[in-house]
Amino acid sequence: MSVSTHVLDSVLGRPAMGMVVRLFAGEELVAEGVTDADGRCRLVDGATARGTHRLVFSTGSWFADQGRETFYPEVALAFDVREPAEHHHVPLLLAPFAYSTYRGS
């Protein structure tokens, strides 16, 4: 299985570069990365277990680094891995007081 994300700042209409993202399987930290200039981060290229995983985005520190306030110090997105061989892409559309996500491809 592979896991990736793409974070977009929906207020400014640009990628969220430099955000720390962590991937957990249960309580175990599986991977950690930082979004690139395009707001993308690939966290896992190899196999991982079936079951519930979480992506945790460090939104509070990211907004603080830009001198902006946010209501969300972090965003945690839980998703189920049912087919470990599939690619799992979980984007985050982010604003200081709202966020949205979807299953990407």
Output the pLDDT for position 86.
87
- Where do the structural domains in the chain lie, given as residue ranges? 2-101
Q: How many helices (H) and strands (E) does the chain have?
A: 1, 10
Output the pLDDT for position 84.
83
Output the pLDDT for position 4.
95
What CATH topology corresponds to 2-101? Immunoglobulin-like (2.60.40)
**pLDDT tens readout for residues 1-46:** 689 999 999 999 999 999 999 999 989 999 999 999 999 999 988 7
The one-letter amino acid at 36: D
**Cα(47)–Cα(37) distance, integer angstroms:** 26
**pLDDT tens readout for residues 84-99:** 888 899 999 999 999 9
